[in-house]
Structure formats: structure tokens, C-alpha cells
Amino acid sequence: MMPSNQWQRARQTRSELVIPPGLVQTWITQQHEVATRMTELPYPGLPRFVAAADAAFSLDGKMCVAVAVVWDREKTELVEHVVARRPLEFPYVPTFLSFREGAALQDAIAMLKHAWEVICFDGQGFAHPRRCGIATHISVMLDRPGIGVGKSRLCGQARDPGLKAGAWSPLIHRQQQVGIALRTRDGVKPLFVSVGHRMDIASARRIVLACGRGYRLPEPIRIADRITKVERAK
């Protein structure tokens, strides 16, 4: 993520955040640059300590509330969670989520004291129109292995995978595979999994499934999501 002081700050008019002229084009340029630095390679084995990051917004709509967790896959238990808050600078603009949530997420990740090996994000990675969703953007900035786990499809098309957990189908955008639709629980809607950084899609699929505890979401993301719902109300 680019340092905040390299961005133009949004104005606030009548309590509404506004994007300054030209900023979206700056964001596009940054996304293309970050995407060129993303590396795709197999991840060896399965990580024991898996981090996850998720964000929500305070009930008054003024703060981004970010949560990062570390989950012990072998003991199936949460070992650490932290919370970071930042004032919102920008309104929601589709495909630019990392510029709205990224700074707070990075703050939370930096607060983690326990070592972790892979981080999962509640959002897209390579499965993005410019191949730079929030999972890729932050993972590249950290230069750490990362995975994007989207609850819904941002771009591309995928056939519905089989109904059993573990079934998957390619997610194709502009004649390129950008991720997969992955069934993580029998009969529930698939997730859209893609590479963040220093990962390939086969490794990402294996890790997401290994982090399952019988729910649709992999456990680290499910825990982070649950904590954000509590913290946003404070």
C-alpha cells in the first residue's frame, strides 16, 4: 500500500467524502504497478499459523475498523487478534477497495506479535479487473504470501462447481484464469479464491480448504469477520 501522504486527501463536504479530480487515475496507475510485482509460485506444504484480515465501518460511517488475527491450524484455535481504527478518507469506489480499507488493515497487520506464514483477506486478489485486488495490493506491499477469498464475484465467469466441498471451477476473465469458484461446504454458495502474492492457485485452494471448520468461510477469515462486527459497534 502506498503511504497515505503520497495520496491526495479527500475533502469532506456536507459530511460526504469526495474523490478529488485525477485521484482515480492515480489509483489505476498504482494498481498496474503493484500488479507487475505480484509473483505466482507454489507454496510448499501447509502453513501452521495463518493470519487473516478484515475490515468494517463504524456505525456512524466515519471510521474504518480493521481486524487481524493469527489462527493455529494444527490446534484449530485463535492465538492472537488485534484491532486498528482509522478515519475514512475516501468513499467507496468499486475496484478500489484497497485505497479505502488498506491503511487500516496494514495498521492491524503490523500490530500482530505472533509469527504467521500466510495471510488470507476477505476480498479479491488476482481476480480483479486490473489484477490488483486488496489481497494482492497488501500482500505485495508486505512481500508475504497472501490469498484473496471473496464472498462474491468481482469479475469473470465461472460455472457452478459440484455440490460437494472441495469442488471447484476456473474463474475466467478476458480469456485468462484469474481464480476459482471453490465449494468449501456441501451445498453452500462457492467462494471466489485467487492468488494474492507468492502463491499459486493450487496452493491457495489447498490452504483455504485446510482452514475449513465446517463453515463456508475459512476459519481465520470467519473469526476476523465476527470480531469486526463486534468492534464496529464500539
- In this structure, how many other beta carbons lie within 10 angstroms of the beta carbon of residue 164? 10
Cβ-contact 107, 141 below 8 angstroms? no
- Residue located via cell numbers 467507496: 92
**106 confidence band (pLDDT: 50, 70, 90):** very high
Q: What is the dihedral of CA 197, 202, 204, 206, to 10 degrees?
A: -150
Inter-residue contact 196 to 188 (CB < 8 Å): no
**CA-wise closest residue to 37 among 127, 149, 140:** 140
DSSP secondary structure of 5-58: GGSPPPEEETTEEEPPTTHHHHHHHHHHHHHHH----PPPS--SEEEEEEEEE-
Q: What is the domain partition of the chain in residue ranges?
A: 45-231
- 180-189, pLDDT tens digit by residue? 999 999 999 9
Q: What is the CATH number of domain 45-231?
A: 3.30.2170.10
According to the model, what pLDDT value does residue 18 have?
85
- Using the predicted structure, report yes or no on whether residue 211 has a pLDDT greater than 50: yes
* Start-end of H helices in the chain: 23-37, 97-111, 134-142, 201-210, 219-231
In this predicted structure, the answer to whether residue 2 has a pLDDT above a threshold of 80 is no
